[in-house]
Amino acid sequence: MKWLVIILAVLLELAALVLIVRVWQHKHRNWVAKFFWSVLLLIPFFGLLFYGFLTINPESQSDHTEDSVGARTGGGSVL
């Protein structure tokens, strides 16, 4: 199921990029309309990109920090 979602997201992003290229190839539109539609179509693209880069798993990382190890054992320096 996870791969199906990834494939669907990639296909939708490719469709958005194709639409952006077609908007810019249209000679009768002004640059404001082209820019507006480009930004509108890129919002989901950058949203998924930022979500993928910023999503972390805090449970798997919180046990590996020095502060949490010192707090559990009672040791460490006090600042």
For the segment 1-60, what is each residue's pLDDT rounded down to a tens digit? 788 878 888 888 898 889 999 999 988 888 898 999 899 888 877 877 777 777 766 555
For the segment 49-73, what is each residue's pLDDT rounded down to a tens digit? 777 777 766 555 555 555 555 555 5
Q: What is the pTM of this model?
A: 0.55
Whether the per-residue pLDDT at 75 is higher than 80: the answer is no
Whether the per-residue pLDDT at 76 is higher than 70: the answer is no
State the pLDDT at residue 22.
92
17 vs 33: CA distance, rounded Å? 16
Break the chain into its structural domains and give their ranges. Answer: 2-53
Whether the per-residue pLDDT at 77 is higher than 60: the answer is no
Q: What is the DSSP string of the chain?
A: -HHHHHHHHHHHHHHHHHHHHHHHH-TTS-HHHHHHHHHHHHHHHHHHHHHHHH---HHHHHTTSHHHHHHHHT-S---
